[in-house]
């Protein structure tokens, strides 16, 4: 094997071993301190908003696996470099380990919820990777290299060939060293295979440990019994079409969490502090003793493109936030609620939206179950009428009353608009884009939403022709989307359907297209189909 190639391979295998050990040591207790996840999280926070938007748009929920793969590839390249350097310069081994391990540790410590021990997995991994690389690239003397000079020797039993033992008292360096020669160094191949197998086993164990933890959190979630609502949601009106309520398993997920936070409901606490007369701390049991409300509410993401999928409607169960705020006593001047999650996300919500009578709540249930882990178990915030980035903090652990002047929450710091009022919008769900249809009556159908205001009209236009009224199906409330349908007499040819909604203030959804950044997309959704 050429020296450069074998050096690169050694670097990659050593780094793989180090990462496996690091992830393994993190998996059982703090998976977020594993170097891959920690670096990934740091990359997410440092990524410019435009790139993040691009990633969400292009990769959807695959954005996280793609990011982790990218990080692994970059790490492998750097490790290969370190390996090549190590075959020429021994100091490259500790230097490489220190730099890469340091980067992992720094990333882990940069997480908002980090504790000093979070540096340990990366440091341990660096020590292991360094030792492995040292061992793999140890200059070989005598035997092995001498054998190598004859080139590959197929089918010969591999007799261990130890380098001549150093004579006591004679420094090892004094022994004449034969430099390694090109050819297959079978001992190195064995070592590489051994280490790679060990790293694979460690990685598998780490994954299963993390999985078991998730299952454990899942189990406590399943054991949690939610009380019946004191104020239940009325039954859905007759005449809503299937799909009005979005199932938990298909509800969109948007967040920055590379590993889903796992919270023990028994030790969970919510601290309410800041511009209040008295700080309050409540447990989940305390919350569940309060009278619960149940409401159908549509939640959507500000990053949603026109026609996009990041919207869903669920039946939420929770504690009205206003009651809790009043118990704490709101000090004059406060105008912002900053909700903080266990993973350090901060979401800023206008205080007025918790006090103006809407059903802003600390949600504990979603569609008749405790919140799924991905959707914020055990408690999240929910603010009807606001995009998720401004009102729906998941994995909630802290609520601070403050002012918009004093605190920029996470997304606002990144240029998104403070406030986050949902814009009036509509979407065509049927027919699908580029569908092939037969001439005759075709049902065009979709949803329209303007939470807090409600939808009063939806119109459809074919090929830029006159706007025709669509039929509105019954809906649950002004906080939920409205389903609509329109019977179109399709004629042969290619046609473009457009939709626009009107909300209860009389505002018509504008045609002009704006990007989701910084306060939500606008524009009409269109679908082109072929009839014939």
Name the pairing type of β-strands 436-437 and 396-402: unpaired
Q: Of 288 and 393, which has the nearer Cβ to ligand MTE?
A: 393
CB of 391 to ligand MTE, least distance (A): 8
Q: Shortest Cβ contact with ligand MTE: which residue?
A: 388
Q: Of 34 and 348, which has the nearer Cβ to Mo ion?
A: 348
Give every strand in the sheet of 471-472, ordered side by side: 425-430, 440-449, 482-490, 471-472
CB of 122 to ligand MTE, least distance (A): 24
- Which residues would be at the binding site for ligand MTE (CB under 6 A)? 251-257, 299, 301, 341, 343, 345, 347, 375, 388-389, 392-395
Q: Are 13 and 192 in contact (CB under 8 A)?
A: yes
CB of 306 to ligand MTE, least distance (A): 16
252 binds, among Mo ion, ligand MTE, none (CB under 5 to 8 A by kind): ligand MTE
CB of 70 to ligand MTE, least distance (A): 20
Q: Of 297 and 301, which has the nearer Cβ to Mo ion?
A: 301
**Which of 33, 254, 470, 521 is the binder for Mo ion (CB under 5 A)?**
254
Q: Of 363 and 527, which has the nearer Cβ to Mo ion?
A: 363
Between CA 69 and CA 405 the distance in angstroms is 39
Q: Residue 270 half-sphere exposure, CB side, CA atoms within 13 Å? A: 31
CB of 188 to Mo ion, least distance (A): 50
Question: How deeply is 186 buried, as exposed, middle or buried, from its count of CB atoms within 10 A (0-12, 13-18, 19+)?
Answer: middle
Q: Of 18 and 318, which has the nearer Cβ to ligand MTE?
A: 318
Q: How many helices (H) and strands (E) does the chain have?
A: 13, 19
What single DSSP character describes residue 19? Answer: H
Q: What is the 3-state secondary structure (H, E, C) of 402-448?
A: ECCCCCCCHHHHCCCCCCCECCCEEEEEECCCCCEECCEEEEEEEEE
Residue 203's nearest CA partner among 387, 374, 64, 23 is: 23
Between CA 227 and CA 9 the distance in angstroms is 58
389 is an interface residue for Mo ion by CB under 5 A: yes
Q: Of 340 and 500, which has the nearer Cβ to ligand MTE?
A: 340
Q: Of 178 and 515, which has the nearer Cβ to ligand MTE?
A: 515
Q: Which stretch binds Mo ion (CB under 5 A): 10-18, 248-256, 444-452, 499-507?
A: 248-256
Residue with tokens 């619960």: 292
Tokens of 438: 């037969």
DSSP helix/strand/coil, 521: coil
Residues 268-307, one symbol each (x = binds Mo ion by CB under 5 A, - = not), give: ---------------------------------x------
Query: In the complex, which residues of this chain contact Mo ion (CB under 5 A)?
Result: 254, 301, 388-389
């Amino acid at each position: 094997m050429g020296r450069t190639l074998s050096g690169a391979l050694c670097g990659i295998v050593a780094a793989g071993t180090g990462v496996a050990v690091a992830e393994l040591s993190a998996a059982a207790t703090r998976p977020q301190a594993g170097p891959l996840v920690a670096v990934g999280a740091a990359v997410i926070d440092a990524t410019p908003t435009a790139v993040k938007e691009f990633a969400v748009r292009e990769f959807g929920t695959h954005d996280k696996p793609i990011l982790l793969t990218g990080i692994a590839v970059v790490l492998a390249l750097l490790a290969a470099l370190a390996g090549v350097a190590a075959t020429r310069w021994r100091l490259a081994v500790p230097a490489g380990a220190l730099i890469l391990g340091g980067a992992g540790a720094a990333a882990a410590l940069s997480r908002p919820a980090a504790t000093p021990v979070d540096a340990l997995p990366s440091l341990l991994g660096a020590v292991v990777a360094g030792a492995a690389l040292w061992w793999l690239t140890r200059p070989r003397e005598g035997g092995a290299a001498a054998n190598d000079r004859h080139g590959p020797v197929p089918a010969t039993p591999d007799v261990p060939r130890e380098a001549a033992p150093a004579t006591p008292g004679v420094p090892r360096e004094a022994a004449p060293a034969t430099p390694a020669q090109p050819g297959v160094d079978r001992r190195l191949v064995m070592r590489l295979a051994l280490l790679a197998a060990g790293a694979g086993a460690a990685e598998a164990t780490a994954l299963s440990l993390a999985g078991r933890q998730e299952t454990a959190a899942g189990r406590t979630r399943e054991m949690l019994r939610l009380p019946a609502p004191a104020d239940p949601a009325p039954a859905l009106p007759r005449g809503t079409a299937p799909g009005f309520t979005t199932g938990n398993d298909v509800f969109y997920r948007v967040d920055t969490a590379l590993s889903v936070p796992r919270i023990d409901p028994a030790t969970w606490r919510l601290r309410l502090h800041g511009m209040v007369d008295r700080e309050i701390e409540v447990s989940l049991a305390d919350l569940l003793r309060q009278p619960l409300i149940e409401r159908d509410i549509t939640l959507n993401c500000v990053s949603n493109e026109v026609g996009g999928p990041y919207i869903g409607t669920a039946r939420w169960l929770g504690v009205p936030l206003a009651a809790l705020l009043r118990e704490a006593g709101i000090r004059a001047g406060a105008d912002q609620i900053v909700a903080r999650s266990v993973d350090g996300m901060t979401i800023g919500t206008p205080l007025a939206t918790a006090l103006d009578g809407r059903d802003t709540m600390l949600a504990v249930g979603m569609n008749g179950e405790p919140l799924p882990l991905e959707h914020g178990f055990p408690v999240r915030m929910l603010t009807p009428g606001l995009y998720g980035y401004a009102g729906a903090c998941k994995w909630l652990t802290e609520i601070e009353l403050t002012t918009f002047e004093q605190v920029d929450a996470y997304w606002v710091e990144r240029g998104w608009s403070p406030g986050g009022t949902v814009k009036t919008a509509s979407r065509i769900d049927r027919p699908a884009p580029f569908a092939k249809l037969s001439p005759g009556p075709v049902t065009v159908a979709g949803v329209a939403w303007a939470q807090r205001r409600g939808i009063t009209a939806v119109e459809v236009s074919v090929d830029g022709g006159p706007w025709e009224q669509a039929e509105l199906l019954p809906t649950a409330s002004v906080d939920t989307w409205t389903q609509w349908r329109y019977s179109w007499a399709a004629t042969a040819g290619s046609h473009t359907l457009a939709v626009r909604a009107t909300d209860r203030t009389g505002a018509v959804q504008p045609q002009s297209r704006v990007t989701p950044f910084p306060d939500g997309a606008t524009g009409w959704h269109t679908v082109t189909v072929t009839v014939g």
